[in-house]
Amino acid sequence: MKLTQNDVDHVAKLARLDLTQEEEEKLAVELSSILDYAATLQEVDLDEVQPMHGVHVGQTMMRIDVCKPSLPQEVVLHNAPEAEEDQFKVPPIWEG
pLDDT in tens, 16-39: 999 999 999 999 999 999 999 999
**CATH number, domain containing residue 25:** 1.10.20.60
Residue 80 lies in a domain: no
Residue 47 lies in a domain: no
What is the model's pLDDT at position 53? 72
Residue 11 lies in a domain: yes
Distance of CA 73 to CAs 3, 29, 35, 38, 66, Å? 41, 39, 39, 40, 20
Which domain range does residue 18 map to?
A: 5-42
Q: Mind giving me the DSSP string for 17-79? A: ----HHHHHHHHHHHHHHHHHHHHHHTS--TTSPP-SSS-SSPPP-----------HHHHHHT
Residue 70 lies in a domain: no
What percentage of the chain carries pLDDT values higher than 70?
97
Torsion on CA atoms 29, 34, 36, 41, rounded to nearest 10: 170
